[in-house]
Amino acid sequence: MWLLRGAVTTLISPLGTALVLGLLSLWLLGLGQRRRWRRVGAAAGVLALGWLWLWSTPVVSHALRAQLEAQAGTAAVEAVPAAAAMVVLGGGVGGARGTARPYPDLLPAADRVWHAARLYHAGKAPRVLLSGGITRPNEPSESHSMQVFLRALGVPDAAIVHEDASMTSGANAQRAAALLRPQGVDTVILVTSALHMRRARAEFERAGLKVIPAPTDFESLGRSAEARDWLPDADALEGSGRAFKEWVGSWVLGR
């Protein structure tokens, strides 16, 4: 199921769509004998290149991401109401790998863990539920990798609750609700990247929890455009792909 989700996500991304159009173009051009098919094949090829160029352009990619981030909520710690528990979603810390990498590795979304520490020290929640399973063989779960980072940031182990079996946002929500609701917790502070907040919030509300959004890891909101942002860039294409995933996921959830 997880692999199927990954395949679908790849297909709906700008890169996946462009590859499909490119393959269609080659197939139509290969029909050869009929001029109409060759024209359609050439048009599909031009469309594939144009689509890839569009979403590889940083100014377009950041505009798409900024729309999602603007819906995420406030980033200010003092504006976040207190709750009985905080849930931090994985995706920001890579696990240790024995002697090759003896400590967790901070990934681009590691702001999630740092923001959770800020909220904890501000007294916003006495419990921190870390949600994330094992994503790679021979590595600890994301949940336990995040704990190492939080411990270094002064959050005591006694405040931490682990949910280390989930691999998707939907599973994060379902398992967090199963752990917290029997303890009388029906409202949580949800910490995740601003780009991901809309879909994550929908998943947690679907699981029966009230959500106080605490977004972090803002990539595009408030970013000033530069001249080079009109030139295609691989990072911009990757960012567009992640934004497409969030938009489609939110649409599926009816948000």
Q: What pLDDT does residue 253 have?
A: 79
Cα(139)–Cα(31) distance, integer angstroms = 49
How many of the other CB atoms lie within 10 Å of CB of 230? 12
Tokens 């905080």: give the residue.
Answer: 86
Q: State residue 32's pLDDT score.
A: 63
**CA separation for the pair 53, 94 (Å, rounded):** 31
Q: Which pLDDT belongs to residue 159?
A: 97
pLDDT at 38: 83
Using alpha carbons only, give the angle 118, 119, 120 rounded to the nearest 5 degrees. Answer: 95
The region that residue 25 occupies, defined by phi over 0 for left and psi between -120 and 50 for alpha, beta otherwise, is alpha
Residue type, 72: A
Mean pLDDT by 10 residues, the chain (255 residues): 58 88 88 76 93 96 97 92 97 87 91 97 98 83 94 97 91 95 96 97 96 97 93 96 91 76
Q: Which of 164, 173, 89, 99 is nearest to 133 (CA)?
A: 164
pLDDT at 2: 47
Instruction: Check residue 95 and report its DSSP letter.
Output: P
Helix (H) or strand (E) holding 86: strand 85-89
Phi first, then psi: what are they for 149, rounded to 5°?
-65, -45
Look at residue 206 in the predicted model and tell me its pLDDT.
Answer: 96
pLDDT at 222: 92
Residue 255 pLDDT? 65
pLDDT at 96: 86
pTM for this predicted structure? 0.90
DSSP state of 108: T
Please report the pLDDT score of residue 6 as a whole number. Answer: 57
* pLDDT computed for residue 218 by the predictor: 96
pLDDT number for residue 33: 62
pLDDT value, residue 4: 54
